[in-house]
Amino acid sequence: MKLSQDFVPDDDLNKQLRSAKSQLALYAKDLKALLSRERKKTHKLETTNQQLQAYARDLKAAYATQQQKTRELEKAYADTVVRLTLASRYKDEETGAHIQRLSHYSKILALVIGLNEDDAQLIFDAAPMHDVGKVGIPDRIMQKQGPLDEEEWEVVKRHPILGANLLAGSPSLLLQTARDIALTHHERWDGSGYPQGLKGEAIPLGGRMVMLGDTYDALRSMRPYKPAFSHKKTCDIILNGSERTKPGHFDPTLLEAFRDKHLEFDRTFSEIREEETTP
């Protein structure tokens, strides 16, 4: 009888099965080793990732701490500069109130024209340093009772440049903004201001805001050469003009913002004046 070609004797079959089993065992061992290595890699990656996350948290906390210290240092420096300004004009009882009001006027305008809260606050914080250059103006001129003569007026007109020089060279955004304001808060939209005769948008926005607020506050306050004007008369002068003050002196956008929020200016002037004079 002839056996089929597919027939495999038992011994050969057993050998093949044992060989296959051994091969499977080797495959299983290799697979187990591979999985073990991958688990170790995964664990190592997870550990590294956790370490990186912890490092990122520590770095973020350190950065926040540094930022806070930087803000505190900037505030301390700005406060010193403001106090220096006040010290240079210690006989001017209106100076402290004027500085406070000017910050509020500027922030009112900033928010009306669409600046975000952070940018508006930056203007608020920088505005008090606008007149720091007056520390370099002689007391005999700053405290003179009565109008200044032409020579004295030319000396006073140097204070924007003196202030800008005092605030120059700092990496602080606050002090850079304060420098721009100190230098340009007497520039006029129509180019008739000083010290550089800048015109239009060549004048930094902060300088334009402080210029309008400064004008409002000066008109509302008593001066050796003029009485204190009412809010109504002050608005009429700013919006319609007078012999010395013209609507063309102001940024038209800010002028419209003032027209819209003039009552907030009046409220600010009244409230801060009361705070300053209340025992």
Catalytic annotation, pick one of 134, 157, 226, 246: 134
Residue 173: is it exposed, middle or buried by C-beta count within 10 angstroms (0-12/13-18/19+)? exposed
Give bridge partners of residue 223 from the DSSP assignment. Answer: 226
Q: Which long-range contacts (CB under 8 A, 24 or more apart) does 221-230 make?
A: 221/94, 221/98, 224/144, 224/145, 224/146, 224/147, 225/146, 225/147
Q: The tokens of 133 are what? A: 């250059």
Asked if 260 and 108 touch (Cβ cutoff 8 Å), the reply is no
Name the one residue in this structure whose structure tokens are 């520039």: 187
Pure H helices in the chain: 10-88, 95-112, 117-126, 139-142, 150-156, 159-167, 173-184, 205-220, 231-240, 252-277
CA distance 130 to 127: 6
> Does the active-site annotation cover 261?
no
Active-site positions read 134
